[in-house]
Amino acid sequence: MPIGEFGGAPDLPAEDSPALTTPMYWMYEMGQASLNPARAVFDATKLMFSNPFNPWAHTQVGKSIAAACEVFERTTRRYGKPEWGLDDTEVNGMRVPVEIKTVWEKPFCRLLHFERKLVKPLRTPQPRVLLVAPMSGHYATLLRGTVEALLPGHDVYITDWADARMVPLSAGRFDLEDYVDYIVEMLHDLGGDVHMMAVCQPSVPVLIAAAVMEANNDPFVPVSMTLMGGPIDTRSSPTAVNKLAEERGMDWFRGHVITKVPLPHPGFMRDVYPGFLQLNGFISMNLDRHVDAHKNLFANLVKGDGDLVDKHVQFYDEYLAVMDLTAEFYLQTVDQVFVRHLLPKGEMRHRGKLVQPSKIERIALMTVEGENDDISGLGQTEAAHRLCSAIPMDRRVHYVQKGVGHYGVFNGSRFRSEILPRISDFMVSSAHGRAQRAPQADSATRAGAAE
């Protein structure tokens, strides 16, 4: 039962039952441990029936046994954080290596820089982009395709959110307000002249961070912000998953999807919304499709169709790798964004102060939506324009990509060929527009001082 980008819980009794969640994670860990011997047996069997020196490996029976063993192992394993696999890119027609460096770090997030090892400096500087990845169950590597598409024409940084079960309880809590503070700190560390891109869930904290920085007259406000498929106002074209949040209510979420991290994880006893529950929600939305995909995997393994097997493996290695979220961040986001709609109502507060997007003036705004998005409905992201009323019309863009769903907004062929070029043009024009407005702003400041 996903809420926006968040995964959800299985169908549990409707009444509040905190006792249901208390041992939930512990039971999951015991289940994983109990499967280890079976996985070892199936893995050994697969190796035996895949060995070319085994006559059975060349028969239909042998291939079927090996395929069945691999499907069992893949459907019962715990998937770790995937690798980025972005070792090089093409800049101005030349292939250059890429080195991923951590340039800023706090307990719940690292800021990664995809540093391109250019042979010589570029004649025209390319936009520096802070890509804010969703903290909604999957790792930042879910945006691998987005980063790969950006690299040839942009200097890319990305938020690499931590798995909450790996953060010791001594590191403290992490909620929506902390998320906003992290974004502000990253922008300060980058030193200005940065364009922000937020994919889905972070559209809300990114907009809040922009409003907070404008209210403080912060010199490091981003040049532009691009919000993509985000739940700024889920009252606009509410999807089925949006409606579930209001129907269930906060007590249900608190009682049924929050549990404590068990040993031996570093985050022992931290309250979290566990990744395995989120994965349950992701899969239950399209269970038939996932079952068919694994049937096809079995058939392709038997046939020896390596290309189709590789496509399946690449997708599911990413899709099945999930991370825990801190309970306070998850519950606060569901309550304030999906149930009470505080930001579009003008009631959102950050550190006790009212958040006022209407005060944003210096930051150009672009919103992107997918025509067939069933997670963030049409109009939910566009609502940012209504809230940011002080941004001049010539510094705003709204774009709806026809024929794509939620993931097509930030990944795939349509993103690369139709969406990204528009975003790149928007960033360049935003930087040019701010440069032109700066002398005017300085003149106005001097005139005010003279008066």
CA atoms within 13 A on the CB side of 360: 29
pLDDT, tens digit, 9 for 90 and up, residues 35-86:
999 989 999 999 999 999 999 989 999 999 999 999 999 999 888 899 999 9
pLDDT-above-90 percentage for the chain? 69
What average pLDDT score do residues 413-431 get?
Answer: 96
What average pLDDT score do residues 18-31 get?
Answer: 72
Note the pLDDT of residue 451.
39
What average pLDDT score do residues 401-414 get?
Answer: 94
Note the pLDDT of residue 82.
92
Which residue, 245, 199, 230, is CA-closest to 383? 230
What average pLDDT score do residues 192-208 get?
Answer: 96
Note the pLDDT of residue 24.
81
pLDDT, tens digit, 9 for 90 and up, residues 80-94:
899 999 999 999 989
* 394 or 22: which leads in pLDDT: 394
Q: Which of 138-142, 287-291, 421-425 has the lowest mean pLDDT?
A: 287-291
pLDDT, tens digit, 9 for 90 and up, residues 310-353:
999 988 898 899 999 999 999 999 999 999 999 999 999 999 99
Tokens of 38: 């079976």
Residue 48, judged by CB atoms within 10 A of its CB (0-12, 13-18, 19+), counts as middle
Tokens of 173: 């809590």
pLDDT-above-70 percentage for the chain? 91
What average pLDDT score do residues 298-307 get?
Answer: 91
Query: Buried (b) or exposed (e) across 345-384, using 16+ Cβ within 10 A?
Result: eeebebeeeebbbeebebbbbbbbbbeebebbbebbbbbb
Q: Confidence band (pLDDT; 50, 70, 90) for 104? A: very high
* 33 or 211: which leads in pLDDT: 211
Which residue, 385, 255, 278, 270, is CA-closest to 4? 278
Which residue, 242, 245, 229, is CA-closest to 132? 229
Note the pLDDT of residue 137.
85
DSSP state of 336: I
Note the pLDDT of residue 150.
97
What average pLDDT score do residues 149-167 get?
Answer: 97
Task: Please check whether residue 9 is in contact with residue 252, taking contact to mean a CB–CB distance below 8 angstroms.
Answer: no
Residue 317 CB contacts under 8 Å (≥ 6 apart), including other chains: 79, 82
Query: Buried (b) or exposed (e) across 285-307, using 16+ Cβ within 10 A?
Result: beeeebeeeeeebeebbbeeeee
**Structural element, H or E, at residue 110:** strand 109-116
Tokens of 112: 């990664």
Q: Confidence band (pLDDT; 50, 70, 90) for 121? A: confident
Residue 15 CB contacts under 8 Å (≥ 6 apart), including other chains: none
Note the pLDDT of residue 397.
97
pLDDT, tens digit, 9 for 90 and up, residues 162-198:
999 999 999 999 999 999 999 999 999 999 999 999 9
* 404 or 123: which leads in pLDDT: 404
Note the pLDDT of residue 21.
55
Q: Confidence band (pLDDT; 50, 70, 90) for 292? A: very high
Note the pLDDT of residue 17.
44
Task: Please check whether residue 6 is in contact with residue 201, taking contact to mean a CB–CB distance below 8 angstroms.
Answer: yes
Task: Please check whether residue 394 is in contact with residue 361, taking contact to mean a CB–CB distance below 8 angstroms.
Answer: no
Structural domains of the chain in order of their starting residue, each with its CATH number: 88-245+326-450 (3.40.50.1820)
Note the pLDDT of residue 435.
67
Q: Confidence band (pLDDT; 50, 70, 90) for 438? A: low
What is the spatial distance between Cα 409 and Cα 352, in angstroms, rounded to a whole number? 34
Tokens of 230: 């985000």
Note the pLDDT of residue 449.
36
What is the spatial distance between Cα 211 and Cα 360, in angstroms, rounded to a whole number? 6
Residue 124 CB contacts under 8 Å (≥ 6 apart), including other chains: none
Note the pLDDT of residue 19.
43
Note the pLDDT of residue 6.
52
What average pLDDT score do residues 237-254 get?
Answer: 77
Compute the CA torsion angle 355, 359, 362, 366 (nearest 10 deg). 70
Torsion 398-159-182-377 (CA) sign = positive
